[in-house]
Amino acid sequence: MKSLLRSFGRIWAVFMKETVQIRRDRMTFAVMIGIPIMQLILFGYAINMNPKHLPAALLVEEQTPIVRTMIQSLRTSDYYDFVMQTDDPRKTGDLLARGEVAFVVSIPAGFTRKLIRGEHPQLLIEADATDPAAASGAVSFAQTILSDALRHDLKGPLANLAGGQPPFDLVVHQMYNPEAKTSYNIVPGLLGVILTMTLVMITAIAMTRESEQGTIENLLAMPVQPIEVMLGKILPYVVVGAGQTVLILLAARLLFDVPFIGNAWILFLGVSVFVLANLALGFTFSTIARTQMQAMQLTFFFFLPSILLSGFMFPFRGMPEWAQTIGEVLPLTHFLRIVRGVMLKDTSLAQLQSPILALCLFTAVAVSVAMLRYRRTLD
């Protein structure tokens, strides 16, 4: 009994010591509170497994009451947000390739006439199936939505068309991924996720390790400039990142049969900028954190939204506006557009201009912050 009491006393001693130390380390405390809040908000509000309001383009070559009814029904279904309506097929040409829309709905000239004659005209939906989950909901409900809409219009002399088979033929092209394989979407995405996780983490401890081991004093006393330290510290990991990329791309081909139809040099450029962006960010973290532990926490804090809001796990276009805005800041979001574009869609360099520039901008900002935060003295 007495020894038990003594043991409690010592447990209490350790408990108090830990409490004091937790209070001293404010960043750990902030992370312990911040991560649950972030997860709640992201999972609760941002993520949508059955995404609606996906951007779509409309190619309509004729305007008739029936066509207008059909368009209106798609619009009110909440699945499609028509960001563009045109009668010129050239304008919708590369919208899917550039990832600006998830669908192109085409109603050809003569559709109404054929419909009334009972010739079952074709109505085409081209879906960007690089993310099969995003496309599936809107596509699977299209048939029902359109048939229901027409039922009201098909009265009187057209009543015979209303019953039984729908009077039109809905053709869905699952572009870039006709079999709707999720691995086509996930495996290229994993390249970005793995690079983000490992590269940010490895450089995040770059300066904090020097501080913790006291070697920073020596480094600062030597005639070496901050930018020289930064480049010297991140460049070895560019090689590491290249190795990881080759490994994952080989696995994508050999194990998962993911196609690679685009230009490898464009991907090489994209990976290079993306790797630099992550390394620069990691280095920035290491100038902010005081300890290696804090650097790890910052990395994790960054990693969570990268996974959830970048479009890696959940359809980017299915998220609310604010979540997409946050997503646009994350390098992974832009890299996913590049890697999926090049591998699955054969997207051209010109079409990938904006994600590549976004990554360059991110890198520049990260380097600037790191240089501002870099301690040139021990103050």
Partner 1 sequence: MSGDYAIDVHGLVKRFGSKTAVAGVDIQMPSGEVWGFLGPNGSGKTTTIRMICGLLRVTEGTGQCLGYDIQRDAARIRELTGYMTQKFSFWSDMTIRENLEFVARIYRLPHIRQTVDETLETLGLTHRQHQLSGALSGGWKQRLALAAVTMHDPKLLLLDEPTAGVDPQARRDFWDEIHHLSLKGMTVLVSTHYMDEAERCDRIVYLAHGEKIIEGRVPDVIDRSGLLTFRSEGEGVRRLADDIRNEPGVEHVAYFGSALHVSGKDRAAIQAALAKHQAPDVSWSEVRTSLEDAFIALSAEAGEDKRVHA
Residue 225 or 368 with smaller CB distance to partner 1? 225
Instruction: Using the minimum distance from each CB to partner 1, give the nearer residue, 24 or 376.
Output: 376
Gyration radius of the chain's alpha carbons: 27
Shorter beta-carbon distance to partner 1: residue 217 or 257: 217
Distance CA 363, CA 369 (A): 10
80-86 vs 122-128, strand pairing mode: unpaired
Name the minimum Å distance from CB 225 to partner 1.
8
Residue number, 175 or 202, with CB nearest to partner 1: 202
d(CA 173, CA 326): 31
Helices 331-340 and 264-288 pack at an angle, to 10 degrees, of: 170
User: Environment class of residue 324 by beta-carbon count within 10 Å: exposed (0-12), middle (13-18) or buried (19+)?
Assistant: middle
Phi, psi (rounded to 5 degrees) for 55: -65, 135
Q: Which residues bind partner 1 (CB under 8 A)?
A: 213-218, 220-225, 376-379
| Strands in 219-280 per DSSP E | none
Classify burial at 245, counting beta carbons within 10 Å of its beta carbon; exposed 0-12, middle 13-18, buried 19 or more: buried
Q: What's the min distance (Å) between Cβ of 318 and partner 1?
A: 47
The CB-of-20 to partner 1 minimum distance in angstroms stands at: 21
Q: How far is the CB of 36 from partner 1 (least distance, A)?
A: 34
Task: Return the number of the residue (37 or 378) whose C-beta is nearest partner 1.
Answer: 378
Tokens standing for 148? 């229901």
Tokens of 326: 């946050």
Distance, in Å, from the CA atom of 80 to the CA atom of 74, rounded to the nearest integer, reads: 6
CB of 375 to partner 1, least distance (A): 10
Q: Rounded to 10 degrees, what is the CA torsion of 230, 236, 237, 239?
A: 140
Would you say 329 or 372 has its CB closer to partner 1? 372
Residue type, 291: T
Q: Which residue has the tokens 């709707």?
A: 180
Q: Are 121 and 168 in contact (CB under 8 A)?
A: yes
* Cβ-based nearer residue to partner 1, 1 or 222: 222
Residue closer to partner 1 by CB (options 37, 222) is: 222
> Nearest distance from residue 211's CB to partner 1, in Å?
11
- Min. distance of Cβ 336 from partner 1 in angstroms? 37
Residue 187 CB, shortest distance to partner 1, in Å, is: 36
